[in-house]
Chains A and B, each alone.
Chain A
Amino acid sequence: MLEILSVWIAGGLTLCIFSFLYGDNPVYKFAEHLYVGFSAAYWLIYVWHFTIKQMVINPIAARDPGAWMLIIPLFFGFLMLSRWLPEKYSWISRWSIAFTVGIGAGLVTIGQIQGLLLPQLRATILPLATGKWTTNINNFIIIIGTTTTLTYFYFSRKDTGIMSRFSRIGIAFIMIALGAAFGYTVMARVSLLIGRMVFILGNWFHIVKPL
């Protein structure tokens, strides 16, 4: 019974959201606000159960070795709440923000260099005579595509002469990449529509095989 009820609620809410295709209306607004509210509540429960309870309260209560160190992030976490205090005290929250920004900046720098820049750079150093002509052509396209696209984003010299020709080839590669991304995006959006249609026709009306 509960399952039937949940399918009816989900199906009804799907139609409420679909009504936006005709135009903004109160039914759509109701579903939208319900979604935002439920998501926030769900998120709150998860933060309590998986973050605060499992990662802070349980280790401290069990007196795990090294659990005292949790006091430091807990302290910074509480400082964040000072944003709600009058301006005289709210600046204290910046310590926590500085802590987060510092960690984030360090992590991003390492990740981008070690995990993105160097491996991707290495992946463009390719042989052009491998003995297999299809591989040779692919490697050539990758090398030309990378260098000409980089030329397009080179702003320290006037875009004339040979630079201009290279950057125009780069634009062509960028356009192809955008076209591929757009094609995939269309596929993704249609997939979402199919998912909802199968839910409505299958799980709700039992006309097709349900999800």
Chain B
Amino acid sequence: MNGNKKNFWDLINSISREIIYTILGIVVIIPLLIGIKEEVQISPAVEAAYKTIESLDSTDVVIVSIDYDPSSMPELQPMLKAILRHTFENNIKVIMMAFLPLGLPVGTEGLEEVAREYEKVYGEDYINLGYRPGDRAVMIDMGKEIRNFFRTDVNDIPLDSYPMMRDIHNYNDIALIIGLEHGRVGEFWIQYVGSRYNQRIVLGVTGVMAAETYPYLQSGQIEGLIGGLKGAAEYETLIKKPGFGLTGMAAQSWAHIAIVMFIIIGNIGYFMTRRKQGRL
């Protein structure tokens, strides 16, 4: 009978996943309910992205490429809004485009919301080119003439009928490309546009992609990198406009503490059980 009796560490090792999910859910909900605010430390990568956009003139035009879809919205939508607030605040003109079909409505929603905040006029201050398939081919050909692939905007209206597009033809007329990425399109911007046309690029990526994107920052192929919700919170701090990024940071920190505790307790449980079995 005694052999079947479970001790504390056996119980720890056999905790059901439902309990872990519940604890994680509670840990995320409590800071949101209480409304805890947390300050974030600004990383050099995000500061570099901020400074790159800050260095642009009011006559400059940037391309914002929406290369994510609703599955990455919580991480990249706050980034999009923060970047658009920064560009519109500095009267920089914005061209939006998407290489993912489900990314376009998400990007359009963010663009329209921030444009309304700053009373920007469609066609004069910003434009939405819509979605195009064939990312790499489109990127390369845009170096010759944007109209080769985008004769019209998202509403099927010819680009030349908009004042801001009349003198914009290729990357020579674009000061910066800002790619918001949850897949490989960001790498394509670097490999096909950055390398070929010496185009300045800043990337905002999901947390999953951040680690693998850092080498491009170190090599100078991108000028700034915003990684995950933490990156979005840092950017919101830099532009002094708190949004969802900063709201979520307290919940993020609490969840991280909980996960670290799970890992520590799980590992102690594992070693204690093995020691009890005489296998350590």
Provide the residues of chain B in CB contact with A198, threshold 8 Å.
32, 74, 244, 247-248
Q: Determine if A89 is an interface residue (Cβ-Cβ < 8 Å).
A: no
Q: Does A25 contact B (CB under 8 A)?
A: no
Q: Please report the C-alpha to C-alpha distance between residue A209 and residue B210 in the assembled complex, in whole angstroms.
A: 28
Contact A115–B207 (Cβ < 8 Å): no
Asked whether B191 lies within 8 Å of A43 as measured between CB atoms, the reply is: no
B162 sits at the interface (CB 8 A) = no
What is the bound-complex CA distance between A104 and B109, given in angstroms? 33
B23 adjacent to chain A (CB < 8 Å): no
Which residues of B have CB within 8 Å of A196?
74
A186 to chain B: closest CB distance in Å? 6
CB–CB B256/A187 < 8 A: yes
A90 interfacial by beta-carbon distance below 8 Å: no
A194 pairs with B151, CB closer than 8 A: no
Bound state CA distance, A107 and B35, in angstroms? 49
Convert B179-222 into 0s and 1s, putting 1 for each residue whose CB lies closer than 8 angstroms to a CB of A.
Answer: 00000000110111011100000000011111110010011110
Q: Which residues of B contact A207 (CB under 8 A)?
A: 33
29 A-B interface contacts by CB (under 8 A):
A42-B102, A46-B101, A51-B133, A58-B152, A58-B156, A103-B137, A110-B192, A111-B191, A114-B196, A123-B215, A177-B211, A184-B210, A184-B227, A185-B207, A187-B229, A187-B256, A191-B74, A191-B228, A191-B229, A193-B28, A194-B252, A195-B74, A198-B32, A198-B74, A201-B32, A208-B32, A209-B247, A211-B77, A211-B244
A-B contact sample (19 more), CB < 8 A, given A194-B32, A198-B74: A21-B17, A55-B132, A59-B151, A107-B140, A114-B196, A115-B190, A116-B187, A116-B191, A119-B195, A123-B220, A184-B207, A187-B228, A188-B228, A193-B255, A194-B74, A194-B252, A197-B251, A201-B33, A209-B247
